[in-house]
Structure 1
Amino acid sequence: MFLTYEEAVAWIHARLRLGIKPGLSRMEWMMDRLGHPEKHFHSVHIGGTNGKGSTVTFLRSILEEQGYSVGTFTSPYFEQFNERISVNGKPISNDDIVRLVNVIKPLSDELEQTELGGPTEFEVITAMSLVFFGQLSSVDIVLYEVGLGGRFDSTNIINPLLSIITSIGLDHTAILGDTHEKIAFEKAGIIKSGVPIITAVHQSEALQVIKKKASVENADCFVLGEEFLVLNHQSIANGEEFDWKMGDQNWSCIQISMIGKHQIENASLAIMAAHLLNDKSQFVIDSTSIRKGIKKAYWPGRFEVINNYPTVIIDGAHNEEGIHTLVREVKKRYHDKEIHIVFAALRDKKLDGMIQELDAIASQITFVSFDFPRAATSKELYSISLSENKTENMNWETSIEEQLVHLRENQVLIITGSLYFLAEVKPKLLKLLETM
């Protein structure tokens, strides 16, 4: 029995030692013992390589604008562990965390003694969320973000009203496969019998895998660029603007406050999801709520402009697809500026391709270390870079502080890489900027 929040979270994080154990057998065992809380709420399941968190945020904002109470399960957390399980964007309380851990730990101990073995950290947190939404709260709907892959991800225990696959990229290839087709097969594992699937996947071989799975499951498939369209996209000062079209419905001048072409795609998925939910008798979502919700949506650490004078941006570009998107946006918005980059990443990413793209746009690039089990060292990152203007510093705080002091009007500081890194950086960065 845990009495304090600190003890409960420490026990959860200690489960990291078990690594990743694909499969649903442990989740099924726990759900059976808990009385199947996953069957007691409506849900939407969101998978994909990049864009999951933003899509969750767009859809949550739409539903909240309509007046619904919305639970979310997301990862990783950005500022506070509790935000993994939230209601209307507000993380659950420390007391809730303690209560949930005290429900799951006895099951974990018992499971440890079986041939299945003990649950991983992610399985524990997923089980906690299912208990919370299924037994302790009364939200109207829960948006579940896939942790890794889809087919064997612990969130795949739910039976949603609809599913979304945002994108396919070559990430976690050691686990999911080394081609778009193989990764699509894993992501498509969230498609369930008769449950509509929405996707923005564009690679032909990956899209065919998703369509085939949807056909087998008799699930209606809605593809961005086919069943619904994004038209007339233009970047505006504080976001993006676009038209959205599906059949004879044509909505013009929809605005979002998140930056980047990729966010237009994520927003379009959320709009399509809102339309499908609106077709369900238990949900009513009008066009005003969609427009207002989309514009209000905010997700930290995604091309987030922290400061304007001087310009400081943080972006969780943690894989090749994310870096490519970041670079494209920087070239479009800051082509006339000197770009200074601070970068930290996990060792198990495709670092050579990521760093090569950053080298190409950076007037100066600094590689730093941060405290995380899988983090690459600043020296490892530095050795990969081919830039003539590169430095490395094990202490990211010192490096960023120095950069801020010397940053000029014609320069932009971009702090990017692992979301775990940015979660450490953001609160301290804000304090530094307050003192300048």
Structure 2
Amino acid sequence: MNYNEAIEYIHSSYKFGIKLGLENIKTLLNLLGNPQDSLKYVHIAGTNGKGSTAAYITQILMEAGYNVGTYTSPYLLRFTERIKFNNIEIEEETLAELTEKVREKVEAMAGMGLNHPTEFEIVTAIGFLYFALKKCDIVVLEVGLGGRFDSTNVINCPLVSVITSISLDHTRHLGETLAKIAYEKAGIIKEKGDVSIYPLEDEALRVVKQVCLEKNARLVSFGKNDVKVKSEGIFGQEFDFGRFKDLKITLPGEHQPYNAALAVQTVDLLREKGLKISDEAIINGLLKTKWPGRMEVVSRNPAVIIDGAHNPDAALKLTQSLSKYFPGKKIIFIMGVMKDKNYMEMIRAAAPIARCFIAVATLDESRSLPAEELAACIKQYCNNVLIGDTIKGAVDTALNLADQNDVICAFGSLYYIGEVKSLLEN
């Protein structure tokens, strides 16, 4: 099996859909010799901010000299971004070899009359095999969907369970209220474990506290007032948190100082468990952290920003940040969304600062909302709406509309903004 065949095989499992539950992944990992049991973890659930929090924690641990595996989803440009060792993507050849191993066991499961694993279960198994192969000191493991029944939740007690911001998303699978969604995320909390959380809304916080109580888990939290932002801009921010003064990050976005503070709080729990992590490693780790596709400036004059915001909360945070960094500017938005998302609320969040919208379909045809349908929805909030026949067409249209001082922002789904980035960087 070569790399392209491996990717084709992995994606062909998409037809088996999303099945929340741990039986399948447990069986598959058992057949593979349970590679996950040889590793230590920081396990991260939440609606938004999982990826950037994982990136901060990974970089800090690397600065401290640890060998770190990182598992995230989805990817921006290359599938291999999802599985990394010390921030270097899994080699294509290794991915192909491990996929072949997993496929053999999937076929064995079929022979036993068992369910076919989903795409995410297969990728998770490949990740565990790779991290065991690389003998990672610690794995920063991001949940795919929810937490309680997510395939990453097969692990035993992690060093720390981390919960990032919680808002409404994936309501069909996780529930219609913040409390229900929080309960699913809190499913990663283990008996007598340590839990590090982002400042949550009361409805979500009550649920997380209750689960911690039931599991005899220790909860560590901070308030938004504990983070003092001193300067902010599209190319970086500076803030105080706890014993740290003038912490610097390069990631823009109003929420990023809080994600960085969550990473610091989590790393302090790891220090309590005996990991040798200096304050210097924390300071340097935060500063060096990169996380593409999140308020990322991919071109200048005009400024072109890509952001993976794919739910109302993320769209609102994006809009607030754009208003702050470009006061008084009306934005040229390129927007593409999956049809199962709450795109009406996303449009409503962005419309007040929009000069116009260019609607596109994302690259995933089976799940994408057609551009014509999206444009019709946008017209309820904004009169100036165009349709991009292709992603390249949408980018060209936006560039033709813009002068040097304008701002273009592509958002709505990570599944197409990577293509925008490629087009502009090439």
Partner of 1:295: 287
Q: For 2:44, which of 32, 40, 46 is the aligned residue?
A: 46
Partner of 1:393: 388
Q: Distance in 1 between matches of 2:234 and 2:407?
A: 16
Paired residue secondary structure (1:426): helix
Paired residue secondary structure (2:297): strand
1:201 CA displacement: 4.3
Instruction: In structure 2, give the amino acid aligned to 1:193.
Output: E
- Structure 1: 4+ residue segments shifted above 3 A: 113-116
Q: Is 2:358 the partner of 1:366?
A: yes
1:356 CA displacement: 1.5
1:370 CA displacement: 2.7
Partner of 2:187: 189
Partner of 1:88: 86
Note if contact 2:358-2:398 (Cα within 8 Å) is conserved in structure 1.
Answer: no
Paired residue secondary structure (1:363): strand
Q: Quickly say closer, same or farther: Cα 1:76–1:390, change in 2 above 3 A.
A: same
1:267-286 → structure 2 map (5 Å cutoff) = 267-281=260-274, 283-286=275-278
1:11-22 → structure 2 map (5 Å cutoff) = 11-22=9-20
Q: Quickly say closer, same or farther: Cα 1:357–1:296, change in 2 above 3 A.
A: same
1:301 CA displacement: 0.5
Instruction: In structure 1, give the amino acid aligned to 2:357.
Output: I
Q: Is 2:420 the partner of 1:425?
A: yes
Instruction: In structure 1, give the amino acid aligned to 2:205.
Output: L
Q: For 2:26, which of 25, 28, 35 is the aligned residue?
A: 28
Q: Distance in 2 between matches of 1:421 and 1:26?
A: 30
Q: Distance in 2 between matches of 1:147 and 1:86?
A: 16
Paired residue secondary structure (1:254): strand
Note if contact 1:30-1:107 (Cα within 8 Å) is conserved in structure 2.
Answer: yes
Q: Is 2:47 the partner of 1:55?
A: no
Q: Distance in 1 between matches of 2:30 and 2:398?
A: 54
1:429 CA displacement: 2.0
1:211-250 → structure 2 map (5 Å cutoff) = 211-225=209-223, 229-236=226-233, 238-245=235-242, 250=243
Q: Deviations over 1:138-191 (max 9, x none)?
A: 221110000000000000011211110101110000110000000000000000
Q: Is 2:341 the partner of 1:349?
A: yes
Q: For 1:329, which of 307, 321, 326 is the aligned residue?
A: 321
Q: Distance in 2 between matches of 1:419 and 1:152?
A: 23
Question: Which consecutive unaligned segments of at least 5 residues does structure 2 have?
Answer: none
Paired residue secondary structure (2:47): coil
Q: Deviations over 1:240-299 (max 9, x none)?
A: 111111xxxx21111110011211111011101111111112x10011110111011010
Paired residue secondary structure (1:104): helix
Instruction: In structure 1, give the amino acid aligned to 2:385.
Output: K
Q: Distance in 2 between matches of 1:203 and 1:307?
A: 36
Note if contact 1:181-1:206 (Cα within 8 Å) is conserved in structure 2.
Answer: yes
1:237 CA displacement: 5.9
1:110 CA displacement: 2.0
1:87-236 → structure 2 map (5 Å cutoff) = 87-114=85-112, 116-134=114-132, 136-159=133-156, 160-225=158-223, 229-236=226-233
TM-score under structure 1 length normalisation: 0.94
Q: Distance in 2 between matches of 1:399 and 1:22?
A: 36
Note if contact 1:339-1:362 (Cα within 8 Å) is conserved in structure 2.
Answer: yes
Q: Deviations over 1:283-337 (max 9, x none)?
A: 1001111011101101000001112322111111111111010010011111232
Note if contact 1:244-1:268 (Cα within 8 Å) is conserved in structure 2.
Answer: yes
Q: Distance in 1 between matches of 2:10 and 2:150?
A: 18
Instruction: In structure 2, give the amino acid aligned to 1:67.
Output: G
Paired residue secondary structure (1:118): coil
1:224 CA displacement: 2.2
Note if contact 2:168-2:177 (Cα within 8 Å) is conserved in structure 1.
Answer: yes
**C-alpha RMSD of matched pairs (Å):** 1.4
1:236 CA displacement: 4.2
Identity of aligned residues (%): 39
1:229 CA displacement: 2.5
Q: Distance in 1 between matches of 2:304 and 2:355?
A: 15
Q: Deviations over 1:332-378 (max 9, x none)?
A: 11123231110001000011111122222101111111330201111
Q: For 2:306, which of 280, 301, 314 is the aligned residue?
A: 314
Question: Which consecutive unaligned segments of at least 5 residues does structure 1 have?
Answer: 432-436
Q: Distance in 2 between matches of 1:94 and 1:341?
A: 35
Note if contact 1:377-1:394 (Cα within 8 Å) is conserved in structure 2.
Answer: no
Note if contact 1:45-1:163 (Cα within 8 Å) is conserved in structure 2.
Answer: yes
Partner of 1:70: 68
Instruction: In structure 1, give the amino acid aligned to 2:215.
Output: E
Paired residue secondary structure (1:317): coil
Instruction: In structure 1, give the amino acid aligned to 2:420.
Output: V
Q: Distance in 2 between matches of 1:42 and 1:118?
A: 28
Q: Distance in 2 between matches of 1:240 and 1:356?
A: 27
